[in-house]
Amino acid sequence: MGQYMIEGGNRLYGSVRVQGAKNSALPILAATVAVGVPCVIHNCPDLTDIDSTVKILKSLGCEVHRSVGSVSVDSSHISSNCISDTLMREMRSSIIFLGALISGTGEAVMTAPGGCDIGLRPIDLHLTAMQKLGIRVTEEHGQIRCSCQKVRGNKITLSFPSVGATENIILASVKASGVTTIINAAREPEIVDLAMFLNSCGARISGAGDSTIVIEGVERLHSVQYAIMPDRIVACTYMAAAAVTSSSIIIDEVIPSHLVPVFSCFEQTGCRIETAGNKIRITSPQRLRAPETIRTMPYPGFPTDCQAIMMSVASVADGITLINENIFENRFKHVAELNRMGADIRVHDKVAVVNGVSRLQGTRVHSTDLRAGAALVLAGLCADGVTTVDSICYIDRGYDSLAKNLSSMGAKIKRKD
């Protein structure tokens, strides 16, 4: 499962380049199945979730070649439209292949992706939307079968701006007959990246990034080379690393506008943020002040994926921080682990009350999910003594070269597999 051994108390310096966005790369790689001709995806991070996605693409009969940072996919000769339960369970977001397979082959057979560490993660919004597009959906014995001769465009109102459901509707309707309108669509930057990829293949998608997205179905899509946008959650993680170690670093190859929802939170702690083009310099004070209440919301609100990361910052800030997790029902599993390090955090239903302490103590802690694992690494960077973070396979799902990048900025972190 692998471990990180971290010796706390070291200042960071210099700069770090941010990887391509995991939550863009996954839907865009799935979208190559809808495109149906060879595509090359650049700035693709080296993650185990990408490995899982490549396994699914190959199991469908796609030809996939990987070089450093790039993945080429030829989906001209798809031989299957069925994803095995094993592969579905490897990665929760494998559900994103549903819409892509419908567009690419007219049929998709997969198992319901299990719930996971942060919540039940149902797919009712996905399936209801598929039915509104004229797709036949059957579910029995845990297997989902979707089929359709020709997808018919329709108007779909989402009761919640689900990122995955928005992506699946776009993917299923990109070659539909007629126009599809999504009302109350997710506005995350990853939706914009997916739409930009598909439009560069000849799709006609407008409004991505707003609450109403219009997809005018086209007959066919063409090959393209496309570079994935930077990962805003990873960028926030490196900002937090500077904050908890009273450091000043430069974070390179980011899109500052994607980070506006977290900038005010860091500034409330006393961090200074300067932006220039695709660079951010963050300078942390000697002692952090507790940020005001954090409420996770759909974009452009505070991202739920940064909740655990900011909890580590709040754990060593001066004062009390309330953190309200509104998106997932089970995303406080890192609290017990942070408290083992001497943090003072109480959870009441959806609210965590963080009473900042001056120092955390290094000890052995357990990653319960991807972002929780990253939060524990951050806590280790500023704890007294050595922190061992185990089950780092969760962290490998979303962070490319985390230890190498932190070490290059002066952190004392070693990986033990």
| One character per residue 294-333, x = contact with ligand EPZ (rule: CB under 6 A) | ----------xx---------------------xx-----
What are the backbone angles phi and psi of residue 168, rounded to the nearest 5°? -65, -35
| One character per residue 71-100, x = contact with ligand EPZ (rule: CB under 6 A) | ----------------------x-------
What's the min distance (Å) between Cβ of 326 and ligand EPZ? 9
What's the min distance (Å) between Cβ of 235 and ligand EPZ? 13
CA distance 116 to 262: 25
Query: Which one of 23, 94, 111, 367 is in contact with ligand EPZ (CB under 6 A)?
Result: 23
- 32 near ligand EPZ, judged by CB under 6 A: no
Using CB under 6 A as the binding rule, the residues of this chain from 230 to 269 that contact ligand EPZ are: none
Q: Give 4 or 299: the residue with its C-beta nearer to ligand EPZ.
A: 299
Rounded to the nearest 10 degrees, what angle do helices 22-35 and 97-105 cross at? 10
Pairing of strands 383-384, 360-361: parallel
**Residues with catalytic function:** 116
- 124 near ligand EPZ, judged by CB under 6 A: yes
What's the min distance (Å) between Cβ of 113 and ligand EPZ? 9
- 387 near ligand EPZ, judged by CB under 6 A: no
Beta partners for 383? 360
Q: Which secondary structure element, helix H or strand E, spans residue 232, and what is its range?
A: helix 232-244
- 125 near ligand EPZ, judged by CB under 6 A: yes
What's the min distance (Å) between Cβ of 114 and ligand EPZ? 12
Query: Which one of 6, 12, 41, 123 is in contact with ligand EPZ (CB under 6 A)?
Result: 123
Query: Which one of 371, 381, 387, 400 is in contact with ligand EPZ (CB under 6 A)?
Result: 371
Interface segment toward ligand EPZ; rule CB under 6 A; list 19-27, 244-252, 311-319, 346-354: 19-27
Pairing of strands 63-67, 3-7: unpaired
Interface segment toward ligand EPZ; rule CB under 6 A; list 119-127, 147-155, 210-218, 259-267: 119-127
Beta partners for 111? 143
Structure tokens at 238: 């490196």
**Degrees (nearest 5) of the Cα angle 230, 233, 238?**
90
- 165 near ligand EPZ, judged by CB under 6 A: yes
Whole-number Cα distances in Å, 68 to 42, 44, 59, 407 = 9, 8, 22, 21
Q: Give 19 or 23: the residue with its C-beta nearer to ligand EPZ.
A: 23
| One character per residue 266-285, x = contact with ligand EPZ (rule: CB under 6 A) | --------------------
357 in Cβ contact with 318 (< 8 Å)? no
Interface segment toward ligand EPZ; rule CB under 6 A; list 12-20, 21-29, 205-213, 343-351: 21-29
What are the backbone angles phi and psi of residue 261, rounded to the nearest 5°? -60, -25
266 in Cβ contact with 273 (< 8 Å)? yes
- DSSP letters, 374-409, are HHHHHHHHHEESEEEEE-THHHHTT-SSHHHHHHHT
Q: Which secondary structure element, helix H or strand E, spans residue 169, and what is its range?
A: helix 163-173
What's the min distance (Å) between Cβ of 301 and ligand EPZ? 10
Interface segment toward ligand EPZ; rule CB under 6 A; list 120-128, 132-140, 201-209, 399-407: 120-128
Residue from 410, 403, 408, 405 nearest 2 by CA: 403
Interface segment toward ligand EPZ; rule CB under 6 A; list 104-112, 114-122, 248-256, 376-384: 114-122
Burial 82-96 (b: 16+ CB within 10 A, else e): ebbeebbebbbbbbb
CA distance 304 to 320: 19
- 162 near ligand EPZ, judged by CB under 6 A: yes
Query: Which one of 398, 406, 409, 413 is in contact with ligand EPZ (CB under 6 A)?
Result: 398
Pairing of strands 351-355, 320-324: antiparallel
Query: Which one of 6, 26, 192, 259 is in contact with ligand EPZ (CB under 6 A)?
Result: 26
Using CB under 6 A as the binding rule, the residues of this chain from 328 to 357 that contact ligand EPZ are: 328
Residues found near ligand EPZ in the complex (CB under 6 A): 22-23, 26, 93, 119, 121-126, 160, 162-165, 186, 190, 304-305, 327-328, 370-371, 398
